[in-house]
Structure 1
């Protein structure tokens, strides 16, 4: 039996050299989406250093093992450092890793996504010169850093699925919103029009909204303002909204 096999764990860990194997670069990235001016937008930041200097990409960065204890702390810290905002929630999206995505070497990123209200972070984003909300329809005209377009596309697909079976997209709206705004956001995420009467009926039957008693006068007749009912985000439709 070798000396190492009879070695106790404390001694083994004391002698272990974490540098005996090459380690990949490890980062976290966030695809944050919002709904504003009738369009779906994603939050991008302009890179201030090489590689990909001057390109726009997702808020992200390396994991500082001396500063954070886990991935949640890492991604929240990066978002705050890069944009000045605090995401209301974050959902882990996917991990990407290969020897091509970053010119600095073999790289792995753990990506996250969230859908948030524009009004909740409008002021903070306005004060950060190199961060802005960008219409997702403009992205094909841009060359984003690294593989961030792939991450954004995965985030949009996740939002599409949520829009099909839940009312979670409403959390990207203002606290008080109209039914047409809610339906339009679902249609943007799903990528197709929804039958107006059917959409309204299913939302009302599930008691997912509360009437605020207020109205907003747009181009047509005054529209009722609603807010989300308590625990509405937990509800799941039996059939997808597009059915």
Structure 2
């Protein structure tokens, strides 16, 4: 009978952790009456206004940095931006698809973030040249043709571009960007999250959500959208 009760307790504990999902996991310390929880905390959710580059050189940042201008912040890519520009300028933008939102991780919530840009390129097989294939190989593409693509005699290539960057304030010329640029036909979102481990007693309540921390000494900048206008067509 005692063994049955123990099994029930174990099953109940596992089930409760499963229901909690990936957002929060909990480990109870029976001896001290405390528990440690690891939570995924969303620091910011934003919408892309434009892709571009800084209007002026920024200290301590690469000269080829790319800016994702959002409505709340500017997300300056210090790694991976060059490859992103290379892809959208060399490939036909009408064949490029970005089907997932950008999700970045700021491990320390210190203004730095990392993530991956998932981008696919699909084209009729008869139109794919040797030069195209060489470009795909040079840029780390993986062949990811779906059954639907095959039925249409098309071939698909997937790029997962590793990104890293820093968070700056919203662009100085945001109103100009919004008025001069054709908005993306589909809303494209950017989010940044972090994870946090906390030890609580049974009486301790969880704290509120953290706010996103900007990169130290970051100041608002102007953003130039050219020559990245091709990015607009990706979302059509």
| TM-score between the two structures when normalised by the length of structure 2 | 0.22
Give 1 or 2: higher helix fraction: 1
With CA pairs under 8 Å and 6+ residues apart, which has the higher RCO, 1 or 2? 2
Higher strand share: 2
